Chains A and B, each alone.
Chain A
């Protein structure tokens, strides 16, 4: 107390007080942080491995974790079957994230009032902040028997409305070969940079724009590589997982159940090869392609949209094509730094570009009924994008994350021959994300991360009157699973 003197402006602290305070807090923090540095705790509990064994930083996989996943959630140590587990073992993990975030969106058309009466509108920035929750995920996965694996993930939005994010069963190592595995159900596509294991959490930073890009006014929701899809996948890898491939046949319905959207299919193929580069680490390069068809014509009944019968969803015909293809590179620079690069060239049919496609989600309203013709000057929208995601892994407990994505339209749906040609940059996107995740402890039982992130997204010409829009979000939270 003797060190604190009263003054007119409030308590005054001596330099010694500051030093003692800092030293005390430092000691407490170092003691509290001295626990051992840890992912899907259901797997960690089963095998006794810490999160860090499989995760660069939870939930992003490292190459050992990728191999574990590729083996059908098996270590291949002849102890993978549940018969070897304590009967009480139940492979369930939940994950949720209480957060505080601040979201700021520019160029929003907001009504104005005068004397309590609507008088018009004005373009302004809208900013909201406060405490919030993420959705809740219940992960359960593992083996039913040696070389029979599964994954089920009921997932909710922040209001606890649940859907099946993932439901799949897998036959592993068919004919004793790691090159032949088959997966059936709803699952994440074999993207080397997994969105389901993304290290960032904001609305725009928590997804890869490249995996969800839809040109302005385009009606194709079916080419979203980041969404889990319904289908069958054949996949395989070499013994050491250096060489990997997958080929999937998917329903073109963006993962929606009940045979929604009719009879359309999409193919998704990937291939990658990794190289041992000594002290630098394992470098991987690969390629992917998604080629498919999706409907543009929606069946109606009595003039209204046919919404399904006998356990089916809405039905559609008039399939048009789309494609996404690109390269992926995962580069390590020693034990601490790595960089992932993803490129994409995308193309949608001119029909999608004119707003035909997904009628159900309300993104577009056009229906390609008999006799419909495309407006003059319509052309297939095409674009190119690239994503850079560097990480600095200070230790398995602390990771710094950065990301830059940009997508540039190379051909607009409304071409030069259109009545109103689109600006060449309409719908271009650039986004930056920075953040860090700190895991104060790591065990093989649970995961906890202090998460701090900032995202900024710029979109060209998609605001009112063709204005550019800047959106930003700052997020802090406790991301935990058990």
Chain B
């Protein structure tokens, strides 16, 4: 019996290996050993744990963002825009001032909303816990989350009533801060600088076209638009205007931009009634500015 066992032992061993192969094939990544894998996120009363997101990241995210979160997944060559490099810790959609880290809720909102005109889908049907865990996992890729705290979310004053004066004032702000240079005088993303825009990694990037009815990447509510002016889209040429315009002016700009959109809106109706013309880049600045 013993001799028979010895005779067949290589084959038994081989069979065992084949049987166990599937279970053994789950690969460890270097990030299993990474001290930052203990990273947490806090969204409302939910605490996300990076280690709990490992499987979901591998299932949903890794093809684009890569094993190491550097945006260098297998699809990198084919995607435009390119996937975010989480190692840099720089994010477009924030409620926090430019140059600061976003809040955990900002990242969770981006996950749920997706990013239009990119390959980033809406992950709204993941559970809140899954999203919180994934946020923690995203954070663990960058040392910034160890050395810095997220910025303090900006205050958004209550939205004022839309009036013809505000829409006209919004057009003046559009001219004053030279939005037209990238977005074009009619908001068609055809300004003189549009063709030269690049992100902070030198890749060509498009200005947003307000007239085609698309949703802005960081949300389409009036508050979302306000936030975009006042926080900027870090990593892109879209700066923060928090130091250049007052909150009231930012609301005026929101109303003017809503008037450029093709969807029916109160702002659009008022602009039509006013016969509002696009800004004239060569006109002298409005009085008092």
**For the complex, what is the distance from the CA of A109 to the CA of B18, rounded to whole Å?**
40
Contact of A278 (CB < 8 Å), options: B25, B120, B128: B128
Q: With both chains docked as a complex, state the minimum distance between the C-beta of A53 and any C-beta of chain B, in angstroms.
A: 5
A33, B127: Cα distance in complex, Å:
30
| Contact partners of B67 in chain A: CB under 8 A | 36
**Segment at the A interface, from B71-79, B147-155, B237-245:** B71-79
Which residues of chain A in 2-55 are interfacial with respect to chain B, using CB atoms and an 8 Å cutoff?
A: 7, 9-15, 17-19, 21-22, 25-26, 29-30, 33-34, 36-37, 47-50, 52-53
Chain B residue with the shortest CB-CB distance to A282: B127
Bin the interface of chain A by size.
35 or more
Residues of B within 8 A of A19 (CB): 13
Q: Is B14 an interface residue (CB 8 A)?
A: yes
Cβ of B288 under 8 Å from chain A: no
A17 B63 Cβ-Cβ under 8 A: no
Candidates B115, B127, B215; contact of A276 at CB < 8 Å:
B127
**Residue pair A278, B7 in contact (C-beta under 8 Å):** no
Report A-chain residues with C-beta under 8 Å of the C-beta of B52.
279, 335
B58 in contact (CB, < 8 A): yes
CB pair B62–A36 under 8 Å, yes or no, is yes
Q: Is B201 an interface residue (CB 8 A)?
A: no
B17 and A22 within 8 A (CB): yes
Partner of B63, one of A21, A29, A53, A438: A53
CB-CB under 8 A from A53, the residues of chain B are: 59-60, 63
**Chain A, Cβ-Cβ closest to B129:** A278
Chain A residues with Cβ under 8 A from B120's Cβ? 77
Flag whether B1 is at the interface (Cβ < 8 A). Answer: no
Q: Does A13 lie within 8 Å of B3, measured CB to CB?
A: no
Instruction: Verify A50–B215 contact, CB threshold 8 A.
Output: no
Name A450's closest neighbour in chain B (CB-CB): B22
Residue pair A34, B125 in contact (C-beta under 8 Å): no
CA distance A242 to B112 in the complex (A): 13
A402 within 8 A of B: no
Q: A398 and B125: CB pair below 8 A?
A: no
A385 to B9, CA, bound (A): 47
Q: Which residues of A contact B18 (CB under 8 A)?
A: 25, 29
Name the distance in Å between B55's Cβ and chain A's nearest Cβ.
5
CB neighbours (8 Å) of B193 from chain A are none
Complex: chain A residue closest to B60, CB-CB: A53
- In the complex, A67→B60 CA distance in Å? 14
- Find chain B residues with CB under 8 A from A75 CB: 114, 119, 121-122
Q: Is B64 an interface residue (CB 8 A)?
A: yes
Say yes or no for B27: interface residue by CB 8 A criterion: yes
Query: Beyond A63-B125, A242-B125: 14 further Cβ-contacts under 8 Å?
Result: A11-B7, A13-B9, A29-B18, A33-B25, A34-B25, A48-B78, A64-B123, A67-B125, A75-B119, A75-B121, A77-B115, A79-B117, A398-B25, A438-B21
Could you list 26 examples of A-B contacts with CB < 8 Å? A9-B7, A18-B13, A19-B13, A21-B13, A25-B14, A29-B21, A34-B25, A34-B27, A49-B63, A49-B64, A50-B63, A53-B59, A63-B125, A77-B115, A78-B214, A241-B124, A242-B125, A278-B46, A279-B129, A335-B56, A394-B23, A395-B58, A397-B22, A398-B25, A398-B26, A444-B75
B interface with A by C-beta (< 8 Å)? 3, 6-7, 9-10, 12-14, 16-18, 21-27, 46, 52, 55-56, 58-60, 62-64, 67, 74-75, 78-79, 114-130, 214-215
The 5 closest A-B CB pairs, nearest first, are A33-B25, A48-B75, A22-B13, A240-B124, A18-B9
